[in-house]
Amino acid sequence: MNTMLETSELPAVFDGVKLAAVAAVLYVIVRCLNLKSPTAPPELMYQDSALARFLLKSCPLLTKEYIPPLIWGKSGHIQTALYGKMGRVRSPHPYGLRKYLTMPDGATATFDLFEPCSEHCTGEDVTMVICPGIANHSEKQYIRTFVDYAQKNGYRCAVLNHLGALPNIELTSPRMFTYGCTWEFGAMVNYIKKTYPQTQLVVVGFSLGGNIVCKYLGESQANQERVLCCVSLCQGYSALRAQETFMQWDHCRRFYNFLMADNMKKIILSHRQALFGDNMKKPQSLSDADLGKLYTATSLMQIDDNVMRKFHGYSSLKEYYEEESCLQYLHRIYVPLLLVNAADDPLVHESLLSIPRALAEKRENVMHVLPLHGGHLGFFEGSVLFPEPLTWMDKLVVQYANAICQWEKTKPHCSDSEQAVSGQE
């Protein structure tokens, strides 16, 4: 009798275990995909001014909910992984011309030039000068998608190819791109200004490119001539403050650090002969021993310390990060400046977001935009599972640029008080 009771209870026990296992799996999925997170309009930080009011009226994306794909779009890790692995879906192939510029030290800078596909909404000649993310170039899918969309909205686009990033372009000097070197970007901008004397510029920087463009504009007032506005996307603002967070395991930053370091190693080693060979004059502080340290490096900081800082003769990693970060230059930018980050960006620690917030609280020309979701340069949109080719980020940059162009065109008809965008420190 007892044996029969025990036998009949076993299936119930097994069913209970299965239900518990299913519940545990569902719980993990909900937590990992962040499914309980709400959707909301971006958090905005700005000073009340005529410009800010105009932007809020002219850019619906600033006040509208950003709704990511339902199943996975609220996970910053998945957004970041999709951007990193495939860039964008169904990416177009805009046609451009590659330009080559010889730098004073013998390096060969390259950028791709794309003409507009239609007239701009203001009827003006406007060029977007674009700086991609770390080790990226004009052939990356997220860049191609953005350029195609900008072209269709009447913008000429010039896209910098980071020195050493293109696999088919050899280095012609013992130097490659660094975290904050603005030489190649400046050469591209000067070429555009000289070749198109009537054009006005919209400056756009993605991730590391955001640091470079902000640093470039703040280095000299002359660099801001003919610049309508600047947009920085998903940058960290201070490499010195970011380096400690990049060695932490929360939000898997240490893992991302390893993956990015591995990619940088491959790029540097692909130019090993130009950088470490005897046929060219190497930086005095760069030795063959640094090549051995490069092989064993597992973080960007190790690569920066052993190789990257030495291209420009910095005596320490601290000096390199301080001098190459845009942090000390942001307050010198007087054109309208849009700083965009995502609250769930696994690469940019939340402590770094105090930098753009503090800047936007003090300066009328600055607006900081912080959506809840988007990851690092993801910002995909879509209904349930499959993302759309265009992202929220692509649309926002063009919408903001259009609004600034309209603002500049209508300013002469406004009162003096409405025209003022504070340039005071």
Contact of 133 with 143, CB cutoff 8 Å: no
Concerning whether 207 is annotated as a catalytic residue, the answer is yes
Phi/psi of residue 50, nearest 5 degrees? -60, -40
Given the residues 138, 207, 232, 238, select the one marked as catalytic. 207
Concerning whether 345 is annotated as a catalytic residue, the answer is yes
Q: Structure tokens of 140?
A: 């990356």
Cβ neighbours for 270, distance < 8 A, ≥ 6 positions apart? 167
Neighbour order of strands in the sheet with 156-161:
43-45, 366-370, 337-340, 227-233, 200-206, 126-131, 156-161, 108-114, 97-102
User: What's 41's DSSP letter?
Assistant: P
Given the residues 162, 368, 373, 376, select the one marked as catalytic. 376
3-state helix, strand, coil in the chain (%, to 5): 45, 10, 40
Query: Tokens 């201070």 identify what position?
Result: 238
User: What's 99's DSSP letter?
Assistant: E
Cβ neighbours for 386, distance < 8 A, ≥ 6 positions apart? 69, 89
Given the residues 112, 344, 345, 394, select the one marked as catalytic. 345
Residue-wise DSSP of 340-400: E--TT-SSS-GGGGHHHHHHHHH-TTEEEEE-S--TTTT----SSSSPPSS-HHHHHHHHH
CA atoms within 13 A on the CB side of 122: 18
User: What's 220's DSSP letter?
Assistant: -
CA-to-CA distance for 299 and 258, rounded, in angstroms? 5
CA-to-CA distance for 394 and 375, rounded, in angstroms? 14
- Cβ of 104: how many Cβ atoms within 10 Å? 8
CA-to-CA distance for 157 and 202, rounded, in angstroms? 9
Concerning whether 232 is annotated as a catalytic residue, the answer is no
Query: Tokens 């299936």 identify what position?
Result: 11
Which sequence positions are flagged as catalytic?
A: 207, 345, 376
